[in-house]
Amino acid sequence: MTEAIRLTDTDPRFVDEIKKAGGENILMCYQCGTCTSSCPVREIDERYDPLKIIRMAVLGMKKEVLSSDIIWLCSRCYACYEHCPQSVGVTEVLHAITNIAEKEGKEGNIRIKSLKPRLDGVFNDLIRKYGRLFEIKFFAHHALLSKGVVGLLSSAPDGFVMFRKGKLRLLPHKIKGMKQIERIFKIVGANEK
């Protein structure tokens, strides 16, 4: 038997947090399941269920939603967003949820097992530093984070093929307008605190 949901353990403010974080229309959802049936990730692993994530969020099951590994598996294809008959903006709602999880993780309130926030962090750090993506460093970090040193070494032949074809730059390109980039990161960082 599945365990009952104790409403006394839920957080009714969770839905307002989601609204503020970019999921304004979450309460428009009438649970038709079009999002779930459109989802290509769900086709591969049925544990990934946008309908269920939204329902749990609306019920205020903050702890259960945010500590789940599942929420990080959105491929950002916008199929659910496009098909939703209620204009819930499903993709944006799911992103709002991961954004809240990331914040709670940074504050030490939850432990996030998924690599996703750390990988995004690597990408953002490169943009902060150069204004553009420095691919070789990005790929190396990815390999190291997701597969360890062995993974990094085993990706070397792929890297060599790219390099030989002239597709990998060994030195980063720093844009001239770094002052503006630094300003953007600084203001966004301050807003998020």
Partner 1 sequence: MKFAYYPGCYLHGTALEYDMSTRAVCRKLGIELIELDDWNCCGAVEANNSLSIPLSARNLALAERMGLNIVAPCSVCFHKLSKANKMVKGDEKFRKKINEMIDGQYQGGVEVRHLLDIIVNEVGLERVSKDVKVPLEGVKAVPYYGCLIVRPSEIAKFDDPEDPQSLDDLIKATGAECLPYSHKVSCCGGGLLANKEDFALDMAKKIIDSAKRAGSNCIVVTCPLCHTMLDFQQSNIGSRYGITIDLPVLYFTQLLGLALGLGVKELGLDKNIVSPMKLLESIGIG
In degrees, rounded to 5, the angle at the alpha carbon of residue 129 between the alpha carbons of residues 125 and 133 is 70
Task: Note whether 132 binds partner 1 by CB under 8 A.
Answer: yes
Q: Kindly tell me the burial class for residue 161, based on how many C-beta atoms sit within 10 Å of its own C-beta (0-12, 13-18, 19 or more).
A: exposed
Whichever of 59 and 127 has its CB closer to partner 1, that residue is 127
Number of residues binding to partner 1, judged by CB under 8 A: 55
Task: Note whether 133 binds partner 1 by CB under 8 A.
Answer: yes
Q: What is the dihedral of CA 52, 57, 62, 63, to 10 degrees?
A: 0
Name the minimum Å distance from CB 3 to partner 1: 27
User: Which of these ranges, 3-11, 23-31, 57-65, 110-118, lies near partner 1 under the rule CB under 8 A?
Assistant: 110-118
Q: Which of 16, 46, 82, 150 binds partner 1 (CB under 8 A)?
A: 82
Query: What is the rounded distance in angstroms from the CA atom of residue 152 to the CA atom of residue 136?
Result: 12
Q: Which of 18, 57, 72, 112 binds partner 1 (CB under 8 A)?
A: 72
